[in-house]
Amino acid sequence: MHHLTFRLRALAAAALGFFAMASVQPAMSEELRIGYQKSSTLTAILKTNGELEKALAPLGVTISWHEFTSGLPLLEAINIGSIDFGADVADTVPIFAQAAVAKLAYIAEEAASPAAQAIVIPEPSAIKTIAELKGKKIAVTKGAGSHYLLLAALAKSGLSFKDITPAYLTPADGRAAFVSNNVDAWVAWDPFLTSALHQTKGRILSDGGNGLASYKRYYLASAAYADKHDQVLNVIFAKLSETGKWVKAQPKDAAALLAGLWGIDAATVEEANSHRSYQVGAVTGPGLSEQQRIADAFHAEGLIPVKIDTTAIKIWSPKGS
């Protein structure tokens, strides 16, 4: 009996020791997979300064970063579950994703920046108006905000998308085609836009001003991720908002940091950043009104196969909003 009691006490002590050790072990970390583009300014800054990792560490969250050439493949990656969060994409991109029945959630938006994208023509070109683009070859990134700008500008001049020949290219390939005069025009967004204009003396035919295309940018997550990660998303939202304010308050410091990341001189970066609002806010149903106009325009041109309701998507709200 004494022997059995001793063994039970030993087992109990071992068990207590195990639980004591377990209680001081940190919680299992969870990986947040963030997709971003080269033009994702606020994300690029957070990736560089480590502030988001620092803010998420108390929640046991680590980050892996995944770069994409443009917004459409980024949201496709969210849809198939290879990343959790996309930072950030132009207003058109969620519409294409919705048409493909992607299960997404809007997390945040950047206020309108209509001057941050434009239709540009090479310096030697004789083209002076949008109407003169009829029958021309135009470089555009499929599904990007610039895709809608082109559509809206053509419509305003009485043309349809079928009146031009689109060359669907990534920003880098579009720039190469533009610089070598292999296309008649290019629809680009910053920082690529301002950089190309500085280096080539190309000309702007039209930006998104006068109500043509507001050009909001959105931050999205998978609907499944948004359902279960309020705390994480609140931290991300706060950090994005804080970083956006810093870029506008300290334009030279922000430009110096981004110049190295983008391989563009600081003065050009500062000018490009002046075209963007970087004002991060909550997404609302009424705030998505232009999204519906964009979706209807793409559907009317046969560029998306189905008519969609742009409010039929989860909208996550930050705490206190």
Is residue 256 domain-shared with residue 182, that is, in the same domain?
A: no
Domain contains 9: no
Q: Which of 207, 235, 254 is the last residue of a domain?
A: 207
In this structure, is residue 25 part of a structural domain?
no
pLDDT tens across 192-242, in order?
999 999 988 899 999 999 999 999 999 999 999 999 999 999 999 999 999
Note whether 227 and 91 are same-domain residues: yes
Q: Which of 207, 242, 277 is the last residue of a domain?
A: 207
Assign 28 a pLDDT band (cuts: 50, 70, 90).
Answer: low
142 and 154 fall within a common domain: yes
Residue 19 lies in a domain: no
CATH number of the domain at 149, please: 3.40.190.10
Residue 299 lies in a domain: yes
Indicate whether 106 and 119 sit together in one domain.
Answer: no
Residues 196 and 158 occupy one common structural domain: yes
Shared domain check, 304 and 287: yes
320 part of a folded domain: no
Does 162 lie in the same domain as 46? no
The mean of the pLDDT values for the chain is: 90
Task: At 33, give phi and psi (nearest 5°).
Answer: -100, 115
Q: Are residues 143 and 96 in the same domain?
A: no
Domain match, 126 and 99 both = no
> Into how many domains does the chain fold?
2
Domain range enclosing 61: 30-112+216-315
Considering the entire predicted model, what is its pTM?
A: 0.86
Question: Is 298 within the bounds of a domain?
Answer: yes
Overall average pLDDT of the 154-180 stretch: 95
Is it the case that residue 308 has pLDDT exceeding 70? yes
> Are residues 61 and 29 in contact, defined by beta-carbon separation less than 8 angstroms?
yes
pLDDT band for position 176 (cuts 50, 70, 90):
very high
Q: What is the pLDDT of residue 246?
A: 98
> Which parts of the chain are beta strand (E)?
30-37, 61-68, 85-90, 104-110, 117-121, 137-140, 165-168, 185-189, 203-207, 217-222, 280-281, 314-315
At residue 320 the predicted structure's pLDDT band, cuts being 50, 70 and 90, is: low
Mean pLDDT of 20-44: 74
Q: Which of 151, 174, 207 is the last residue of a domain?
A: 207
| In a domain? residue 108 | yes
Within this chain, do residues 101 and 119 fall inside the same structural domain, yes or no?
Answer: no
Residues 87-142 have pLDDT tens digits of: 999 999 999 999 999 999 999 999 999 999 999 999 889 999 999 999 999 999 99
Tell me how far apart the alpha carbons of residues 103 and 124 are, in angstroms, rounded to a whole number.
45
pLDDT at 8 over 90: no
Q: pLDDT class for 39, splitting at 50, 70, 90?
A: confident
Based on the fold, state whether residues 76 and 220 are members of the same structural domain.
yes
